[in-house]
Amino acid sequence: MFVCKKNSARSQMAEGFAKALGSGKIEVTSSGLEASQVRLEAIATMKEIGIDITNQTSKPLSDFSPEDFDIVISLCGCGVNLPPEWVTCEVFADWQLDDPAEQPEIFPRVRDEIKQRVIQLIASIEITPVS
């Protein structure tokens, strides 16, 4: 589970990378402390590198149960705002990435940072193929 404030950019890009890079190995989704809309800049920035996230939707964290996830990654420093049951999952990390919604020109840099972290995350976990 990748989680962010509004599930509109960073968590959406992380979900896109994890689905593309972990295809057949992991199941992934994203959500936000509140739902909004997937930002057009996030869609365009991912499309630049060949990953299509146009069918992803913004979802509220409240639609999910923490027991259903082994790994929870906060992308925006919002870990302190998450309900405690999410922070105490088996693996929790808070990547604290800059918000490109506030500075659209940094979308490519944030996207590339997310890609590297997702690659490291996938490499760090013991993967049992998803059937």
Per-residue pLDDT tens digits for 14-35: 999 999 999 888 899 999 999 9
Tell me if residue 76 is catalytic: yes
pTM attached to this predicted model: 0.92
Catalytic residue among 4, 61, 72, 118: 4
Q: Enter the DSSP assignment of 61.
A: G
Tell me if residue 78 is catalytic: no
**pLDDT class of 9 with cuts at 50, 70, 90:** very high
Read off the pLDDT of residues 114-123 as tens digits, 9 standing for 90 and up.
999 999 999 9
CA triple 25-63-116, angle to 5 deg: 40
Given the structure tokens 């990654």, which residue do they identify?
Answer: 73
Catalytic residue among 18, 26, 76, 82: 76
Indicate if the pLDDT at residue 96 is higher than 70: yes
Cα–Cα distance list, 74 to 1, 5, 47, 93 (Å) = 8, 9, 23, 6
> Looking at this protein, which amino acid is placed at residue 71?
I
Encoded tokens for 48? 């630049």
